Structure 1
Amino acid sequence: MLPTISPIITRIKIYSLIGVIAWSAVVLGTLYWNVTDSKRQAYELAKQSAVDNFKKDRATRLWSTSHGGIYVTPTEKTPPNPYLAHVPDRDVVTTTGKKLTLMNPAYMIREMMSDYSKLYGVKGKITGLIVLNPINTPDQWEINAIKSFAKGAEEAVEIQDIDGHPFLRLMRPMWMTKGCKKCHGHLGFKEGDLRGGVSIAVPMAPYLQVVKKKINILILLYSVIWISGLVGIYFIFSRSKIYAIEKNRSEESIRSLNLELEHRIDERTKELQEKEARLSAIVTSSPEAIITVNERREIESANPEVEKLFGYTKKELIGHNVNTLVPADHRGQHDQYIKKYLLTLKSELIGSGRQIMGQHKDGHNFPLYLAIRHTRLGKHHFFTGMMHDLTKEVEAERLLKQAKEQAEQANEAKTHFLANMSHELRTPLNAILGFTQMLQRDPYLNEAQQDALNIIGKSGQHLLLLINDVLDISKIEAGGTVALVQKSFDLQVLLQNVVDMFSVHAASKQLLFKVKKDNPLPRVISTDEGKLRQILINLLGNAFKFTEKGEVTLRVRSESQSEHSHQLHFAIEDTGMGIEEEHLENIFSPFVQTKEGAAKPAGTGLGLSISRQFIQLMGGSISAKSTPGQGSVFSFDISVVIAEDSEEQGNSSSDQRIIGLAPDQPPFRILVVEDIQESRTFLVNLLKNIGFHVKEAVHGKQGVELFHAWQPHLIWMDLRMPVMDGYEAIHQIKQTEAGKDTVIIALSAHVLKDEREKIFQLGCDGFLSKPYTEQDLFAMMAKHLGVRFQHEGDKNSSLASQTPQAFLDIPEDIKKKLLASAALLDQNACLAILDQMQSTDPTEIARLKAMIKNYNFEDVEKRLI
């Protein structure tokens, strides 16, 4: 029996071996094709990225060329181009004195691509065999590409290593145009000449990484498929071997063998039917709509999801053109895609997914996702499409976009609301603080009156800080920034001022207030003094607010980081009520207060949030730890620069009160344009008391008329006024020849950035935000007019040294009239007489007017007698 069965077994082994080889070839071939296709796709994507970058650079260059280049502010990074020295107007100065330099297209593209390369890794430049700037000299590959352009080539593409990393390099020619002559005409180029090319280098690393991952997945997948096939072949081999042996052994019982074979055939048929049924079930139960189309665009098969998606039955679809499922205006494009692919077997749509429009049986169109795969069986081509409805996704995207727009509108509305509220609060606050400062200038107030004015001033400043807190947190929430104002100041003085501020509060609550310096502190440092002061006030204020007994300690320590920089560590410790642990992580959020904090008055919930933002802005961090019932510790650190230790720190005359104009100056004419009576009265009286000649207007139109009639040296211009606002008034004045030389400083309780930009575009010379201090106001006048002031304590101050004898030169008849009117307590008569004494020292006249307005007639008599 064995000699008979051996040839059969041998043939089975041969067939099995052939099957293994064929199966392996199919798997390896398919794997190779997929790997090759993945690499090709990576190459095509990289090339497309290079082409997109080229188009972007070309559009930018053409735009710049059509405008003759662009002018920018010269900086260390973008200095005037020495290679454009031959170009007229390379460097210009604007009417406002701003210096600009010309950037030709090549210069602009080079700077732009330098930043673009740092951000995204894509390199690029404009180059040629003859270049204006040596930095644009081509490398060997670019030289070869330019030479190929001269021979008619339209593009050069190659993958090369740059600095040890693979890049796809693409270069296209650049021809001499009329707009290029301005910068490159002197190099010998004529219009139409090949001037060089635009080179783009796209890093291949991201694409190769994706390809590598995809190849690993393909290898794993095809390994599983290959092993599964081998198992199947082995199974068939084993079964065939057994079948042959059994057949040989059963030759004598052929009938029973036939019955057995028929039984087995039935089983195999059933297995095949089950496999086919399973495959059909997979397709049928797939959540994706799956459709198969032949090269004639006829539908070969469709699963139930297709019926649900489009509303047609399977019978209505099979054999019909797939264009039935596409809107009429898209059908021609769809046919072109298939025709083109059948001719070239290349299409960016095959093997990838995209969003298209489908048409339902009832005629309505809807968005759907379509992924197409191509299969070729002999001479026939089949396209399998997997689809799903995108209606919900598109609607969700629309709603998300709508929600985003609504959120942006709400944020903008909030910003404008806060700005308007700021204006409404700052306007009366300007009058309160302004008249407080005027009253504080009166040397004849007693100590109680001065204390009362100090309380009013401090309360007003506290209200201003609260307004600024709200605006700062609004900027932070809107994604904006709060500026850091660096300046040098005496750290010891700042700490002492803060200590003095809270010492009275500590005494009133019978608390012990300690200041501990763990090591010697630098005296003069450079950072934002105002923000550091506000941080300390916020944290100490909270400590005293929530501490009813015990002590509050301010601990300061300095840590040297380098020769010129230190790290300052602050800790505010208290023995107050403490904070629950679950509240600690939220206390730095805006408007968040603990239960105990909400029960306390005068709290906004902004102090800790703003303090943290300021500390982070100053390069530091803040933390808090607390034990309920025992107290809290807030610690923060900031980086500071050690400044020059000057003995004059904080002692300059600019920090002292201004009491008048310095002698030997021309009479300055000042026009105040302000509709709010309180603000106007304060500003007019303040300027008159200092010695300026002042006129006032209640709206912009009257201000323009007074400007033409009086020709003032400086105009204080409010922006929001009836009849004519400040914007239009500034515009009309600056349109005149005289107005161009007249200083205009805007006054506004609005603090929005776009408002400031608008007034400066109109030609305004300065901006002062309400409420302002007299120091800010006088500093602005000194800056723009060059006016000099006398300060308290000046050795050469005429007011500091004057005695009653200094007024003996007043005409006797006028002095008698003034004394008589003062004796009668006639305020109006006294002021009218003083208006006739313009030849006398204007500063002393201002002092006398202040006494009369405050009904200090006894002091007037003492100065005149």
Structure 2
Amino acid sequence: MMDQISLLNAIIDTAIDGIITIDSNGIVESINPSACSLFRYTPSEVIGNNISMLMPEPDRSRHDGYLHRYQKTGEPHIIGIGREVKGLRKDGSLFPFRLAVSEVQFHGRIIYTGFIHDLSREKDAEQQLKKYTNRLEHLVEERTLTLQSLIKQLQHAKEEVSNSLEKEKELNQLKSRFVSMASHEFRTPLSAIQLSASLIEKYNSQYGNDSISKHVSKIKSNVGNLTNILNDFLSLERLEAGKIETQISTFDIVKFAEEITEEMQMVAKQNQNIIYQHTGTKSKITTDLNLLKNCIVNLIGNAIKYSGENTFIEFNTEMLNKKCIIMIKDNGIGIPATEQKHLFEAFFRAHNTGSIPGTGLGLNIVDRYVQLMNGTISFESAENKGTTFTITLNHHEE
């Protein structure tokens, strides 16, 4: 029997949880080391005193009443299992613990045993979790408000963009109508001016007045420049409106190129020579003849414009591996390296073009025509050394 009591005392002394026993009057009879550590008392400071010394108010004042009331009711022996309460340490600080109280009959006496499980760590963890949760909720609320604000801003920006696009669309329609109207309206007086200049030139041939011939030549040259400008604007307007559709046909590229060479040679500068050459045994190509002619005329026209007198302009065509390669090379002013990336942009003109007339639309139109023919265009250029343009088109062998 003594060995069992010794074993029980050893278990109580080494228990992790605090264990306190009191008599029926609430007087502490025993307290284990864990309980002393929790309340920070020595056994002698607690044993013999009322258990209420370890309780904060209001439980401290009410404890005896709780105990007496229980003794009168005769309810089940288990007074409390897992009840969370506060403990009062010697230094006055409080800590949470879970209390389980059992009634034990021992040698005719009633002893109440309290089992105390410290909840400090759990409560601290709960507080930290609550703190983190509150912080997270606050952050979520902030982010939600920010997101709502961004959504409103985005919606506002979307409305502004939509309004801007609508206005831009209206402006483009007005611009297209104006360009179309102006271009057609200008053609009539330009044709009249061109005809009158030709008649003056004809009549002057009888008199041989060099001064008149010089001014007539200027009139015809400027009328030609203005006509080219109007043609560029009309082409751009038709491209923007999506009015240009490809008209596919099969034709002889050599005959086609020779005709263009002959036409362009007539407008070349003094002693400028356009040298045409074809490579390959085949010469049939299937594509849009008019679009291709516009592209080649534009590129050769630029070569004439930006090259000096007494120069050669190379114009080559080649049928190779189901592709037709068209190359126009000049020895003119070239394109500055820093500006080459903008070459195919509408209205772009390099800074070295000086007073040479032009709209900056020609290469943009050529690029878009080549795309309509499902081809590609590339170039190589060096300032003051010349430029080479290469158009590559797919073709189907017969």
Both structures adopt the same fold (TM-score exceeding 0.5)? yes
Distance 1:425 1:271, change over 3 A: same
Q: Is the 8 A contact 1:552 1:573 kept in 2?
A: yes
Q: Distance in 2 between matches of 1:495 and 1:248?
A: 104
Distance 1:543 1:640, change over 3 A: same
Q: Distance in 2 between matches of 1:429 and 1:403?
A: 37
What does residue 426 of structure 1 align with? 187
**Are residue 474 (structure 1) and residue 242 (structure 2) matched?**
no
1:255 Cα offset (Å): 4.5
Q: Distance in 2 between matches of 1:261 and 1:422?
A: 100
What does residue 583 of structure 1 align with? 339
Deviation string 1:268-303 (CA, Å, 9 cap, x unpaired) is 32332222122122223434588xxxxxxxxxxxxx
What does residue 484 of structure 1 align with? 246
Distance 1:558 1:245, change over 3 A: farther
1:612 Cα offset (Å): 1.1
Q: Could you tell me which of 493, 517, 520 is aligned with 2:278?
A: 517
Q: Distance in 2 between matches of 1:495 and 1:249?
A: 105
Q: Which has the higher contact order (CA 8 A, sep 6+)?
A: 2
What's the TM-score once normalised by structure 1's chain length?
0.30
Q: Distance in 2 between matches of 1:543 and 1:611?
A: 14
Q: Distance in 2 between matches of 1:605 and 1:623?
A: 17
Q: Could you tell me which of 281, 294, 297 is aligned with 1:537?
A: 297
What does residue 120 of structure 2 align with? 266
1:602 Cα offset (Å): 1.6
Q: Could you tell me which of 284, 287, 301 is aligned with 2:138?
A: 284
What does residue 356 of structure 2 align with? 601
Please show how residues 68-467 of structure 1 align to structure 2 within 5 Å.
246-247=14-15, 254-261=31-38, 264-288=118-142, 391-432=152-193, 463-467=226-230
Distance 1:574 1:388, change over 3 A: closer
Q: Is the 8 A contact 1:289 1:388 kept in 2?
A: no
Q: Distance in 2 between matches of 1:528 and 1:457?
A: 31
1:391 Cα offset (Å): 4.1
1:572 Cα offset (Å): 1.2
Q: Distance in 2 between matches of 1:638 and 1:244?
A: 98
Residue identity opposite 1:247 in structure 2 = A
Please show how residues 801-816 of structure 1 align to structure 2 within 5 Å.
none
What does residue 366 of structure 2 align with? 611
1:569 Cα offset (Å): 0.8
Q: Distance in 2 between matches of 1:525 and 1:389?
A: 56
Residue identity opposite 2:389 in structure 1 = F
Q: Distance in 1 between matches of 2:349 and 2:238?
A: 20
Q: Distance in 2 between matches of 1:639 and 1:260?
A: 93
Residue identity opposite 1:283 in structure 2 = E
Please show how residues 403-802 of structure 1 align to structure 2 within 5 Å.
403-432=164-193, 463-476=226-239, 478=240, 480-487=242-249, 489-503=251-265, 508=270, 510-511=271-272, 513-522=274-283, 525-548=285-308, 550-559=311-320, 561=322, 567-597=323-353, 599-640=354-395
1:637 Cα offset (Å): 1.9
1:248 Cα offset (Å): 6.0
Q: Is the 8 A contact 2:307 2:331 kept in 1?
A: yes
Deviation string 1:312-335 (CA, Å, 9 cap, x unpaired) is xxxxxxxxxxxxxxxxxxxxxxxx
Q: Distance in 2 between matches of 1:481 and 1:245?
A: 100
Q: Is the 8 A contact 1:527 1:641 kept in 2?
A: no
Distance 1:601 1:583, change over 3 A: same
Distance 1:590 1:254, change over 3 A: same
Question: Which stretch shifts more, 478-487 or 252-261?
Answer: 252-261
Q: Distance in 1 between matches of 2:133 and 2:324?
A: 73
Equivalenced residue count is 294
Q: Is the 8 A contact 1:587 1:593 kept in 2?
A: yes
Q: Distance in 2 between matches of 1:245 and 1:634?
A: 100
Q: Distance in 1 between matches of 2:295 and 2:281?
A: 22
Q: Distance in 1 between matches of 2:12 and 2:161?
A: 69
1:517 Cα offset (Å): 2.0
Residue identity opposite 1:620 in structure 2 = G
Larger Rg: 2
Q: Is the 8 A contact 1:547 1:577 kept in 2?
A: yes
Q: Distance in 2 between matches of 1:480 and 1:245?
A: 96
Q: Distance in 2 between matches of 1:244 and 1:573?
A: 105
Distance 1:505 1:278, change over 3 A: same
What's the TM-score once normalised by structure 2's chain length?
0.60
Distance 1:550 1:464, change over 3 A: closer
Distance 1:631 1:269, change over 3 A: same
3-state secondary structure, aligned to 1:542 = helix
What does residue 99 of structure 2 align with? none
3-state secondary structure, aligned to 2:389 = strand
Deviation string 1:125-180 (CA, Å, 9 cap, x unpaired) is xxxxxxxxxxxxxxxxxxxxxxxxxxxxxxxxxxxxxxxxxxxxxxxxxxxxxxxx
Q: Distance in 2 between matches of 1:635 and 1:394?
A: 46
3-state secondary structure, aligned to 1:588 = coil
Q: Distance in 2 between matches of 1:430 and 1:246?
A: 118
Distance 1:389 1:581, change over 3 A: closer
3-state secondary structure, aligned to 1:517 = strand
1:505 Cα offset (Å): 5.5
Q: Is the 8 A contact 1:575 1:630 kept in 2?
A: yes
3-state secondary structure, aligned to 2:359 = coil
Q: Distance in 2 between matches of 1:389 and 1:625?
A: 47
Please provide the CA RMSD for this pair.
4.3
1:454 Cα offset (Å): 11
Q: Distance in 1 between matches of 2:286 and 2:17?
A: 105
| Ranges in structure 1 where 5+ consecutive residues have no aligned partner | 5-242, 291-304, 310-368, 370-386, 562-566, 644-865
Identical pairs, percent: 21
Distance 1:496 1:289, change over 3 A: closer
Deviation string 1:303-362 (CA, Å, 9 cap, x unpaired) is xx7xxx9xxxxxxxxxxxxxxxxxxxxxxxxxxxxxxxxxxxxxxxxxxxxxxxxxxxxx
1:636 Cα offset (Å): 0.6
3-state secondary structure, aligned to 1:286 = helix
Q: Is the 8 A contact 1:622 1:637 kept in 2?
A: yes
Q: Is the 8 A contact 2:17 2:34 kept in 1?
A: no
What does residue 113 of structure 1 align with? none
Distance 1:479 1:282, change over 3 A: farther
Deviation string 1:691-733 (CA, Å, 9 cap, x unpaired) is xxxxxxxxxxxxxxxxxxxxxxxxxxxxxxxxxxxxxxxxxxx
Q: Is the 8 A contact 1:526 1:642 kept in 2?
A: no
Q: Distance in 2 between matches of 1:464 and 1:517?
A: 31
Deviation string 1:35-61 (CA, Å, 9 cap, x unpaired) is xxxxxxxxxxxxxxxxxxxxxxxxxxx
What does residue 115 of structure 2 align with? none
Distance 1:423 1:558, change over 3 A: same
Distance 1:404 1:505, change over 3 A: closer
Q: Is the 8 A contact 1:571 1:633 kept in 2?
A: yes
Q: Distance in 2 between matches of 1:627 and 1:244?
A: 98
